[in-house]
Amino acid sequence: MSAQTAQRPTESTERANPSSRQEKELRDAVERVYRRYGTNLTAFYRDAHREAQKEQEKKVR
């Protein structure tokens, strides 16, 4: 059974803050896609999914 208790948590603003490395990598990834596709993420994901499918087919063979 799920049983969260009413034990008061320590008040916290703590979170899994991305490190500066992760943050830079993410910014770079967004920039790379933006340079290629502009704001048209639909086109980006269409190509990316198509590519992922191709990779999958290669593996199955």
Q: Residue for token digits 């034990």?
A: 7
Quote the distance between the C-alpha of residue 58 and its chain's center.
24
Decide: is 60 part of the binding site for another protein (CB under 8 A). Answer: no
State which residue, 3 or 60, has the beta carbon closest to another protein.
3
Decide: is 7 part of the binding site for another protein (CB under 8 A). Answer: yes
Neighbours of 37 (CB within 10 A): 16
Q: Are 36 and 44 in contact (CB under 8 A)?
A: yes
The count of chain residues that interact with another protein, using the rule CB under 8 A, is 44
Task: Considering only residues 26 through 55, tell me which ones interact with another protein, judged by CB under 8 A.
Answer: 26-27, 29-31, 33-34, 36-45, 47-49, 51-52, 55
Min CB(58)–another protein separation in Å: 10
Q: Residue for token digits 């596709």?
A: 37
